[in-house]
Amino acid sequence: MDEQAGYPEWNDFLAGLAPVAKRLVDQIRTPEDPQARQETYRMMMSAIVGGYLGLVYNDPDHPEWVPMLGSALNFAAPVPDFTYTYAPIRGEGVYRIAGHRGTSLFAVLTVSETYFTRTDTPKPGLANYDLDDLTIGDDGRFEVLLSEERPDGYVGDWWFLDPAATNLACRHAMYDWVNEVDPRMTIERLDVPAARPRTSAAELSARMDEVAQWVEYSITHWLVHLADSRDKGIVNRLEVYDYSGFTGASWPQVYLEGLFEIEEDEALIIETDIPDEVRYWSFMLADDLFATVDWTHRQSSLNAHQARVDSDGRFRAVVSVRDPGVPNWLDTGGYRHGAIQGRWNQASSAPQPTITRVALEDVRKHLPSDTPAVSPEQRDAVLRERRMGAQMRRKW
């Protein structure tokens, strides 16, 4: 540290990351594996980017929506169908969110007291607000104020802002990646001057000093979560998991989660009913660091639009390393260990899927006889359209 200036130098910031890397590697399933270590470091780089956007660049008095999770910021198993954005706020402020609704399936804002990247003791969200509860104009535009009290004389849309709030997060959900359009939203604090002042050296130093902790918290919670699931034996089966500590109790979603462990010549067959009424459902795979398997270039997730529902009304998917030649393949991306997640959002019921472990060569014995065959050429075409859709989403 430069004692004369009283602020850390660049090497001091870098030095703060070295012990974080060691602690994280010590927690992964196979710390002796060089592949796993390099993937851990890659995840750290991803979290560093998120830390810069969320802490250093952004400002609760002059916030912007920035990427929170995604294909490049891949930790905490982001859902491929969701676009996640984030904005820091102050609970005592007055904010206006405005924009264009778009055509995505839904867009929900979560107001939180803490965000898991900034604490080792996350708390439930303070509130969840759905854009579709607002007045949406014929042109698709909307506007809403957030504050502790509704401003005198204000008759437009208003949402309560808890004074304990420190951040807003938004999830835009989409089924048809190619044709649906994400919302476009702005955010501004109204009770401070519009011009953003130059950030002081002390403030910059404090923000950058928190990045190492942000990186550690971003990853540690999920490594512990995976280890707990292994210890509990939630392997090759799914259980309902309570994520209300992150999403808030009012988030109308049932999470299904478990680990997968298979050999290259094996497969898991997921089978489930589908709720009669459901706003959104999907199944996806994550690796054993809890990074979602590359969904841009692999069919590692399926939603209601992408999946084939069998003639008996049930959904069946095959989890395997190698392509089983069926429509509902969930590609592990080469991983033999990882996590499976499913979601029922605003559903009339919460069916419990079953998982059957079989030899890869016997997959078709466990599927309906009319399950189509998918050739390598057909798979390639599906992946090319998938990649187009993934790139159409807002990520940056």
Nearest CA among 215, 18, 42, 243 for reference residue 117:
215
pLDDT bracket for residue 394 (50, 70, 90): confident
329 phi and psi, to 5 degrees?
A: -85, 130
pLDDT in tens, 314-341: 999 999 999 999 999 999 999 999 999 9
How many beta carbons lie within 10 A of that of residue 38, not counting itself? 10
pLDDT in tens, 224-238: 999 999 999 999 999
Selected from 3.40.50.300, 1.10.150.530, 1.20.120.160, 2.60.120.1600, the CATH number assigned to the domain covering 233-392 reads 2.60.120.1600
Q: Which residue has the higher pLDDT, 114 or 38?
A: 38
Give the percent of the chain with pLDDT over 70.
97
Is residue 149 within 8 A of residue 79, CB to CB? The reply is no
Cβ partners under 8 Å of residue 182, min gap 6: 83, 102, 104, 107, 172, 174, 393, 394
**pLDDT for 1 beyond 90:** no
Residues 303-307: what's their mean pLDDT?
98
How many beta carbons lie within 10 A of that of residue 349, not counting itself? 13
**pLDDT for 246 beyond 70:** no
- Output the pLDDT for position 87: 96
- Output the pLDDT for position 123: 75
Cβ partners under 8 Å of residue 123, min gap 6: 112, 113, 114, 245
- Output the pLDDT for position 297: 98
**pLDDT for 191 beyond 80:** yes
- Report the topology of domain 10-215: Jelly Rolls (2.60.120)
Residues 119-133: what's their mean pLDDT?
87
| Distances from the Cα of 23 to the Cα of 11, 42, 181, 288, angstroms | 19, 15, 41, 16
**pLDDT for 245 beyond 80:** no
Cα dihedral across residues 36, 38, 42, 47: positive or negative: positive
Domain boundaries, the chain: 10-215, 233-392
Cβ-count burial of 268 within 10 angstroms (0-12 exposed, 13-18 middle, 19+ buried)? buried
Question: Distance between CA 286 and CA 132 in Å, rounded?
Answer: 30
Residues 260-267: what's their mean pLDDT?
98
Residues 99-106: what's their mean pLDDT?
96
pLDDT in tens, 143-190: 999 999 999 999 999 999 999 999 999 999 999 999 999 999 999 999
State the average pLDDT for the chain.
94
- Output the pLDDT for position 244: 65
